[in-house]
Amino acid sequence: VPRRFYAADALEVGPVLLNKLIVRGARAGRIVEVEAYRGFDDPASHAYRGLTKRNATMFGPPGRLYVYFTYGMHWCANAVCMPDGTAQAVLLRALAPVAGVDEMRAARPGIHLDRHLASGPAKLCQAMGITGDHDGADLVSGDDGLTIVDDGVPPPEVPGVSPRVGLRSAADLPWRWWVPGDPNVSRARFGPAPGPSPDQPARRRRAGDRAPRGRR
DNA sequence: CTTTGGATCGTCT
DNA sequence: GACGATCCAAAGG
A96-119 exposure pattern, b = at least 16 Cβ within 10 A, e = fewer: bbeebbebbbebeeebeebebbbb
A1 pLDDT above the threshold of 50: yes
- What integer is the mean pLDDT of A4-22? 98
Nearest nucleotide to A44 (CA to C1') is C5
Max CA pair span of chain A: 48
Q: What pLDDT band is residue A188 in, cutting at 50, 70 and 90? A: confident
- Over residues A108-124, the pLDDT tens digits come to 999 989 999 999 999 99
Q: Which nucleotide is nearest to A77 (CA to C1')?
A: C5
Measured to protein CB atoms, the chain B nucleotides within 7 Å are: 1-3, 7-13
A10 and A37 in contact (C-beta within 8 Å)?
Answer: yes
Q: Give the model confidence (pLDDT) of A35-70 as tens digits.
A: 999 999 999 999 999 999 999 999 999 999 999 999
Strand C contacts in A 104-123 (CB under 7 A): 108, 110-111, 116, 120-123
- pLDDT of residue A208 exceeding 60: no
Q: Please give the backbone phi and psi of residue A137, each rounded to the nearest 5 degrees, phi first.
A: -60, 140
Answer whether A95's CB lies under 8 Å from A35's CB.
no
Report the distance separating Cα A36 and Cα A177, nearest Å: 9
Asked whether residue A74, judged by its CB, lies under 7 Å from any atom of the DNA or RNA strand C, the reply is yes
